[in-house]
Amino acid sequence: MEDIIASLQKIQTHGSFWAKRSVSIDQLQLEIKGFGQLKLPLSARNSNNLIKHAKPAKFGWRDQTILDEKVRHAWEIPNNKIKIDRSWKQVFNSLLNLLKVDLGLPESALLKADLHNLLIYEPGQFFAPHQDSEMDRWYHRAAIILWRKQDHYPMLFIIDPNHVIKQLQKLSQKRAYVKQVHEIITSLLPYWSCLRGNREPSLIAALFKLALYINDSQLAKAIIEHFDIEVLSPKTASIIPSLQKAYGSSWCLDTFKLWTSSKNHWNSPTQCENLFQTIVNLSSNNDHHQPLTDWLLTYQLQQIKGNNKDCKQSMSRVELLKGTAERINEIIDFINACDVVNNTVMQIAGINYIITESELYPALDLINVLNCFKGKDDLKQRQYPKLFNYILESLEKEHNRGLRHEDDWSIKEKLPCNCQDCAVLTEFLYSSDQRNKIWPLNQDRRAHIHGIIDDLGIAVTHQTERTGSPHKLILTKTDKLHHQAKRRFERIKRELSSLKINFSFTSLRTAK
């Protein structure tokens, strides 16, 4: 043994068994889907808005992953809702290369970091220093598990629910096994909630078919009630008419309501993805679709309004502008879905909403909505004249003001803050002849003005002259102001001409 120890001691290592490196987070920019850019430190309002996009975080206890707010009250946002700015990759790759050297890994080795999720801790909930045994890829375990015969399906369901569900689906199509399938499903119901949050299309489709084949309304509802509205997709929507025929419209509506209730949501319910194709499949060869499609369209518009309200509260002007294309596509999907089932009431409600939210749906971008319906014979009979007139009048009003004069440096922006410094900033922005401002401010007040200008995305540079006390904030209105104004004016001119050519200008204009 002494020889072995002596031999091991002679081995010269090229690295440590652990390594630690730090890097500044200045270049780390996170964007959360539905929330926008994450800016630190978080205000109380933004923290609450961020939690709306999260779900309670589980933690490891022995061989289980459990949820217990008495032990850990925290929230998590999955990595598929988190976007990291590209500039961070270069910074982080340099850090990984240094860690590779620290660990003594060979040159050919690839050290990779996987984004897990974003945790939001309630006050006093951050973990104290502890040891964590979770490992990825480097640790392999194997075990032989034995259980009683009568516990076969519950145990197998815990280990591999997909296999059990597909097996039950096949058995449910055979009359001889119907009673057995009912008994098995009943025995599994206490464990069924573990499927909550599962989005695997094949599993969800198998569950819907199983609910149909068992021919038992109560058991069928118990099978699919633990999910949320996100499971309603074009694929599952094609099964809904059969479920409606088997169990009735009220059964389907009750199920929809369960999917959108607080019981099945850790936070605010989500929208139905790909609404148009979902409505198409829901109404295809189904003469009794109206109660379902009416409810779904009403729900979707409510969610669009609710999400937009949250965005206006938590996002800056720049972030709102970035999301314009997504909101336009979303409303096009909604209006098309209304069109498929001839629901003019919801179509009117949708159009009335977007023309009252000019900050979220600028008139220039609403042309994309109008273009989707170009060439339709019944254009005049629908609500499109109202949308057409709104766009036309908005653009004509702006066009009639003319091109910005080369001596005009005013920026008529309403600031989101009413503090004294913002009042001074507003006076500078509104001034048509003042292009520069030298402003002695302390660090916190400068940072506030920096943030306001960045969030507005206006053509004003802001730099700090680090002389004197306090340092001076130098604001400059740039030539970009006139370049942007010219491009916008020319685009409005083109779009006005195009609107009058591509749409029946006279008939639509008189169809108010």
Q: CATH code at 439?
A: 3.30.1370.50
Whether residue 148 lies inside any domain: the answer is no
Whether the predicted pLDDT of 330 surpasses 70: yes
pLDDT-based confidence at residue 432 (cuts at 50, 70, 90): very high
pLDDT at 60 (0 to 100): 65
Residue 43's pLDDT is what? Answer: 73
Q: Is residue 23 part of a domain?
A: yes
Q: Is residue 472 part of a domain?
A: yes
Query: What are 164-179's pLDDT values in tens digits?
Result: 888 888 888 887 888 8
Find where tokens 């009912």 sit: 182
d(CA 33, CA 270): 12
Least Cα distance to 454 among 445, 442, 462, 446 occurs for 462
456-471 pLDDT per residue, tens: 999 999 999 998 899 9
Whether residue 91 is contained in a domain is answered as yes
Residue 101: C-alpha distances to residues 20, 65, 107 (Å): 11, 34, 8
Q: How far apart are CA 47 and CA 307, in angstroms?
A: 16
pLDDT for 403 equals: 93
Q: Per-residue pLDDT averaged across 381-406, rounded?
A: 87
DSSP state of 272: P
Question: Which of 121, 144, 163 is a domain's end point?
Answer: 121
Pick the range with the lowest mean pLDDT from 104-108, 271-275, 343-347. Answer: 104-108
pLDDT at 175: 78
Give the residue numbers spanning the domain of 446.
420-478
Distance (Å, rounded) from C-alpha 233 to C-alpha 235? Answer: 5
**What pLDDT, on the 0 to 100 scale, is given for residue 144?**
43
Report the Cα–Cα distance between both ends of the chain, in Å, rounded.
Answer: 97
CB 278 within 8 A of CB 336: no
Query: Quick one: average pLDDT of 297-321?
Result: 90
Which residue among 121, 152, 170 closes a domain? 121
pLDDT for res 78: 83
Give CA–CA dist 251/236, Å, rounded. 16
Model pLDDT, residue 13: 60
Residue 147's pLDDT band (cuts 50, 70, 90): low
> What is the separation of C-alpha 497 from the centre of its chain, rounded to a whole number of angstroms?
36
For residue 230, what are the CA distances in angstroms to 58, 199, 200, 355, 472?
21, 8, 11, 28, 52
Percent of the chain at pLDDT exceeding 70: 80
Task: Evaluate whether residue 138 is within a structural domain.
Answer: no
**Neighbour count for residue 275 (Cβ, 10 Å):** 25
Answer yes or no: are the C-beta atoms of 185 and 218 closer than 8 Å.
Answer: no
User: How many structural domains are present in the chain?
Assistant: 2
**Average pLDDT over every residue of 10-19:** 65
428: pLDDT strictly greater than 90: yes
Confidence check: pLDDT of 142 > 50 = no
Model pLDDT for residues 487-511, shown as the tens digit of each residue? 999 999 999 998 887 775 444 555 4
**Structural domain contains residue 352:** no
* 384 lies in some domain: no
279-284 mean pLDDT: 89
Asked if residue 150 belongs to a domain, the reply is no
pLDDT at 92 over 80: no
What is the rounded distance in angstroms from the CA atom of residue 462 to the CA atom of residue 464? 7
Which of 62, 97, 121 terminates a domain? The answer is 121
Query: Which tens digit of pLDDT belongs to each residue from 211-244?
Result: 888 888 999 998 888 888 888 888 888 999 999 9
